[in-house]
Structures are given as structure tokens and as C-alpha cells.
Structure 1
Amino acid sequence: MNVSFRTALPTELGVALQEARRDTLALFDTFAASGLDVAAKVPVPVSEQFNPPLWELGHIAWFAEWYVLREAHSSDPIAAQRTSMLTKGDDWFDPNTVSHRARWKVELPRTGALKTYCYEVLDRVLDKLGRTGKDDASLYPFRLVLAYEDMRAEIMTQALQTLGIALPPQLAEQMTPGWAQGDIRFPGGTIQLGSPHNAGFVFDNEKWAHACHVPAFIMDSTLVTNAQYGEFVADGGYQKPHFWTDGGRTWLMARDRFAPRDWIRDGRRWLCQRYGREIVLPPNEPVRHLSLYEAQAYCVWADRRLPTEPEWEYAALSGHPALRWGDLWEWTCSPFEPYPGFSADAYKEYSAPHFNSHQVLRGASFATRRRMRSLKFRNFALPERDDLFAGFRTCAL
């Protein structure tokens, strides 16, 4: 579905929900086919950022049941109007009561039983959707669960890369062809930062559009490439503390890095790990899997800086023909903060717990479903995250 999920109507939502569930099951089957114990029981949780695949599968269906079928008005444990289809559904899959560590130990139903649950939830969601009005309020829970499943699919795709497991063929990477690099001068001005009231579905951290003045600035037309970042590495960038912030130096010492994760030295050339395969590092592709600290250190070395969130949105909304975005999420120098007048939506834990501790990323990655992409979307992550499909572009000082 190429229509944005934010404005999709019942027929379009029905198609998209079925597509999303097919992708979820394909990703799960890929984990299972790799020999991974999908119920958990891997030696350690390889990353605190993803869950055991079997728990993830059940949780995604549980989330749809919670907000659509059980008509929960919030994420509070007592908010659901009906009981779960599973006897212990809330005990197994409610993220507010099942800690991340507990998800690796909980005894779950067998794979076949949870797949049946996934199909049954989807069938009932589609049936209810067919009896729902076309107004934004009525469609809100359906749009929410579609967005959530699409976001979880991207996280599962990131986990495949982290664990070195090949992508399913239908989810192969689609990167944009090469693009002319250079600086773009923007005159600055006032933009409406955030989403307007008539935008259909809006995440709570995008509310609401408000005037924001952006001074004149100069921004890269493209993301920093592997070749460009390789010059920083070759110049000893990881060994020179003065390029790094205090947080960056602490992060670097804990990991003993001399290059980005997944880069592998092979004589005089670099290889990289992509879904369990070693390939020659593509010099003209955007550098990926970088923490905020690494992006900041490169900027100090290059006498550049990261864009602010308003600068990024200003540039993206400009429609400049030389501007390229969408291959990777892009770090900004802006901390993740609420817009004026923020109030949490039904999924209360989506934004509020992460304000001020996380950093804003903008754009999208090749793994972001097309219906999810929006120039208003605010992604966010801890500065140390380097497993994301994320890179960066720079601005002139």
C-alpha cells in the first residue's frame, strides 16, 4: 500500500494490515529457519533493543487485540474493556508488566498456537474494520496498530542484521542510486514545526504544528558516505579523544572500537557484515550503524556539525531537487523533547518516558515501510544506539 497509513480509509487499511502481518510472519519464520531458539534461550539477549522472536510475534498480535478488539482507551493495565483471547495474554505480552529481561525467560505457548492467535486477531480486526466509520476518531486504533506493527517489523529487520541472519527475499534492501554530493544553502525562515490538526493520524510527539524560526544554514545534499567516514577512521579518529564528547569517550572506552560496528579490516581494504555475509564496503553508500557519538566525532574532525531538528524539517519540506533522504534514519543535534502543549495519547509509553534522554532522528530508512514515511515523523533513540539503520548528514559551522 503506497497510501500513507495516516489517512488510509478502511479498504486501504485492511490491505495494509494483511501486508503487515505477512511481513511479521515472514520475519519470524526467518529467525526460526536460521536455527535460533525463537522462544529465547539464546546465550544472552544479544541486544537490549529487541525481544525473543516468539515473544515479539505474540506481543504484536496482543497489541492489536488490546487497542482494537478490547477497546482499551490507554495502556494502563485496567484500561481494556474486554478480556484477552489468551488465558494469560496480559501476563505474557503486556510490556508494562513484563520487563525486557523477563521476556527472555517467560514460558510461552508453542509457535503454532501463537501463529493461530495472530491469524485469529487479524481476522477479527478486519471484521471490525469493515463495520467501522471513515472518520479519523473511529479509524485511530486501526491506524495505530498498523503503525506499531510496521515499526516492530523494522526492529526485527535490525535484529536480523545484528544476529547475522539473511533477509527474506521480499524484504531485500532498496537503496537509492548514487546522487550528486554538495552543499545546499537555505535562506531560513519560519516553518510550522509538527503536524497540523487535519493531518489524520498524528503521533503524540508531533502535536501540534507551531511556528518555528529557522536561521539561514548550509546542509549536505546527501548523507556522509562510507568513503568519507573512512577518511576519519584512517586519520585515527577513534584514537583521538579530542574529537569525542565526554559521553562519546565513555562509550568508546566501553567498546574498544577503532571503526564502526560491522566494519572488518581485510589487509588494505574494508569489508562489512551484512546479514551474515561479508562484502566489500561500498564506498559510495551512506555510512550506517553509527551512534550519535560517532556522528558527533566525525563532525568535529570535519569542522562541520549535525543539523537541528527544525533545520532538517525545513530542508526536507523545501522540496529542493538536490536533497536526498530515505536511505537511513538521520541523527540530528536535537534532544528528543515535547512540543509546546504536549499530552500523551492512548499509547502513553510511546514518547513521554523517552523525552530528554533520547536524541531525535529524522527521515526514514530502507527498512521503513513506505506507508510509514513522513517528513513530520520524529524517530528517537539513545545516543549510544549503533544497531539502527541510521547515518547522518552535516551542516556548515
Structure 2
Amino acid sequence: MAKSRVAPGQHDLTQHYRDVRALSEALCAPLSDADATVQSMPDASPAKWHLAHTSWFFETFVLRDHAPAYRPFDPHYAFLFNSYYEAEGPRQARPLRGVLTRPPLEDILAYRAHVDEALLAALPTLPAPAQSLALLGLHHEQQHQELMLTDMQHLFSLNPLEPVLFETPRSKPAALPGSIHWIEGRQGLVEIGDDGKGDFAFDCEGPRHKALLHPHALAHRLVTNSEWIAFIEDDGYRDPAHWLSDGWTWVQAERVEAPLYWRHDAQGWTRFGLDGRKPVNPAAPVCHISFYEADAYARWAGARLPTEEEWESGALNVAPTSGNQLDGAECPRPQATDGRASLTQMFGDVWEWTGSGYRPYPGFRPNEGAAGEYNGKFMAGQFVLKGGSCATPRGHVRPSYRNFFYPHQRWQFTGLRLAKDL
């Protein structure tokens, strides 16, 4: 659940609600009912389900408990659109979300309108705890906006027609960034985690605590596609010396030879995105790689992945609203850096794998009730990613933000920054 320090202003929360809800629908506007229904793999969800689930969240945790006059749009939706909240009862199995050809998309949009009308009417009288739950719901929906985009991309990549969802202007060739500069990080005891000064943080971001940093340095920029191609050409995917044992097993079993969505032909390397298939931009950050791949590349490069603590400490003086992030219903894609020698690309472009497992901070306690299932029960077997991506709504992330995925997953906008010991 969220940690709320200050009840958000009524006007600010109302406008924020309108903006977030409108963006979700704008991102899905190019989709047909069929596009919005299909599920491409168990890790992904149909766009229609994302639109409904985020509405179910507001209906269940805000309206049901804090707006006595509210009546559900359809009682069946409690089963269809619960995600993983055991306290809320049984639900549609995750791998079977794509069989929900009914309700149609138009009914889901009507459901959203029903929830919006009730929520906006209730906001002026909601007590502070309920307003905090509404704010949590908005941050939750922003997470699903990014998931919708990555799930759409995966779905469309499986179509031999490789459809274009968002048109993008032809980009000018970018100069390759220069060599990596190493930026020495803080040493000794530092404080990381939610500092309690903002209006919102997820519970997994705290408590704030001390961490010991040994001498280290971070690369000033992300690893680029051209550098990744050098790894491929040096048989990086074929040399077990670079790989963790589980990673090597995964590479062989899945026959992985390049980042997800890449293809090589007579014209060279191309990648598939929401703007269709395009040539790989050598200067842009490498994207759609797993933790296993990121770790192998770092070993090949004579470096390592940063720890979560090193990354967060390095990002403290970087504006979290900077960088290439999602600003509207547009096509997200990683962009080349301008080559500055200071830490750059810390926010936006790609989520950065760290070498840190997703585990609770000292003193962490999940909140009681169903909303307390939001983060804590997933703290096993996953790795932390930091910094947001080109598909993360601007204003959603901060240095303490902790994303997390399993080490084999790579359909998200995931990349890497190198680190090294000093």
C-alpha cells in the first residue's frame, strides 16, 4: 500500500485523476476490440483487462468501502478483474485473461465511465485515508499504462504483418556517444529509501535506512546498441564463461542470440517496436534484455551491475522528471544521449537492472488488509530495476522507486548501466 504523509489537495487529486484515467484510454485508442482482447503470453495481459482492472481497483478499495451509495457496474467484474488479491476472493486465472471475449471493449469503457463518475463525485467527502487509497490507485494505473504498452508491443510482435500502432517521425541519425566515463560514487554509510518528504511512495520503498557503500564508480551513460552488437559479434551469447549457470541454461533452452525483438538479415540488425520494424539505432540504449543478459554483458565488459544502493545514491541529485519518459499517447522508444560526462539517462529510456535482489528493507512491514498484498508478497526470486523507462509516465518515478522482475523476463523496456569496484 502507499505511504501517505500529507492528504493531497482536492483540486490536485481531482485533476490528477482525470489526467491519468484519460491517458489510459488514449493509449488504447488505436486498438480494435480484437487487439484489446488477445493475450500474447501468461506474463502479459490484454489491454481490455488492464483498463478494467485499474477501474476494479478504485471500485474495490475506494468506492466499496468509502462511498456507501455506490453500486457496482456489474457484480461479475469482481471475479473477472481481480489480479492477485487473495483477500478479495477467487479470480480469473492469469493465463486465461485472453479468453474473455466478453465483455466487449465498449462495455469496459462504459465501466470506466461509471467508476469515474462515482469516484469524482465522492472525492470531496472522502476522508484522508480514502484519498490516499485513491492516490495509490492512480500510481497503480500509471504502472499499468506502461504494462499496457509493453504488452501491446509483445502482442503485435507475434503478428507476421508486424503492425504499426503509433507512427513516429523519421529520426535523424544520432552520433555515437563517446567512451564511457566513470563517475565515482559515495562511500561509507549512506541513507536510501523513501525519505518521507514526498506526497506518495509505495510501501516497499521504505523504511529509510543506512547502507554501506564500498568504493565504486558508475558509468555515466547506458550501454548502447552498438556496444551490444560488439558483444554479439564476440560470441557473447555462445561463451559460457560470461554467464551465470541459470542464465546459460536459459540461453540454450530459449536459443537466445540477441535482445528481444531484434532480427538480423542482409540489411543488418532491425528491431520491432510500437512503431513497427525499424533499423536498430546504434547510438540508442540497448533495450529488452533480461537480467541474465545484462549480467553476462557486464562480465564480458570487465565490469558488473550496480547494486540498488549504489544506483539510488548516484541518482539523488538527478531530477526524476528528467530524461526520456512518457508524456502522452505517443510511441515510447529509447533515445541516444547527448554524451555529457556527468551521470545521464538515470531516469527514463530503459529500466536499469541492478545486481540486487528484491527483498524487504530492514523494518519493512506490509500494511494490513488486501491492499497490503500490493508489493510485499513478491519479495522472492526477483531483481530490482531502477530509473523508469521511455514508457513510464513522467512524474511517476523517484530515486527510491523499486521495480522488480524475474531474471529471465525482458518484454519490458529493460537495459543496463555498468558499475565497477575501485
Q: TM-score range by the shorter chain?
A: 0.7 to 0.9
Greater shift in the superposed pair: 372-381 or 344-353: 344-353
- Pick the aligned partner of 2:116 from 122, 128, 135: 122
Residue pair 2:62, 2:134 contacting (<8 A) in 1 also: yes
Residue pair 1:69, 1:125 contacting (<8 A) in 2 also: yes
Q: Which amino acid aligns with 1:90?
A: A
- Pick the aligned partner of 1:329 from 351, 358, 365: 351
Q: Deviations over 1:167-222 (max 9, x none)?
A: 4469x99xx99866411112413222111344332211112101112122111011
- Pick the aligned partner of 1:104 from 80, 98, 102: 98
How has the CA–CA distance of structure 1 residues 85 and 319 changed in structure 2, closer, same or farther, with 3 Å as cutoff? closer
Q: Within 5 Å, which residues of 2 pair with 1:111-260?
A: 111-132=105-126, 137-164=129-156, 165-168=163-166, 181-260=180-259
Q: Percent identity?
A: 29
2:345 is aligned with 1:357: no
Deviation at 1:260, TM superposition (A): 1.3
Q: 1:292 & 1:156 partners in 2: Cα distance?
A: 21
2:58 is aligned with 1:64: yes
Q: 1:166 & 1:81 partners in 2: Cα distance?
A: 44
- Pick the aligned partner of 1:379 from 403, 406, 419: 403
Aligned to 1:76: none
Aligned to 1:91: 79
Deviation at 1:291, TM superposition (A): 0.2
Q: Deviations over 1:217-250 (max 9, x none)?
A: 1110111000111110010111111211111112
Q: Which amino acid aligns with 2:294?
A: A
Residue pair 1:27, 1:168 contacting (<8 A) in 2 also: no
Aligned to 1:14: 14
Q: 2:98 & 2:273 partners in 1: Cα distance?
A: 26
What SS does structure 1 have at the residue aligned with 2:200?
coil
2:315 is aligned with 1:295: no
Residue pair 2:165, 2:275 contacting (<8 A) in 1 also: no
Q: 2:217 & 2:140 partners in 1: Cα distance?
A: 35
How has the CA–CA distance of structure 1 residues 5 and 299 changed in structure 2, closer, same or farther, with 3 Å as cutoff? farther
Aligned to 1:77: none
2:412 is aligned with 1:391: no
Greater shift in the superposed pair: 145-154 or 250-259: 250-259
TM-score, length basis structure 2: 0.82
Deviation at 1:17, TM superposition (A): 1.6
2:365 is aligned with 1:343: yes
Deviation at 1:109, TM superposition (A): 2.3
Structure 1 unmatched ranges of 5 or more: 73-79
Structure 2 unmatched ranges of 5 or more: 85-90, 157-162, 320-340
Residue pair 2:185, 2:310 contacting (<8 A) in 1 also: no
What SS does structure 1 have at the residue aligned with 2:293?
helix
Aligned to 1:55: 49
Q: 2:43 & 2:211 partners in 1: Cα distance?
A: 33
Q: 2:7 & 2:164 partners in 1: Cα distance?
A: 33
Residue pair 1:296, 1:306 contacting (<8 A) in 2 also: yes
Deviation at 1:11, TM superposition (A): 1.5
Greater shift in the superposed pair: 256-265 or 329-338: 256-265
Cα RMSD over matched residues? 2.9
Deviation at 1:318, TM superposition (A): 4.0
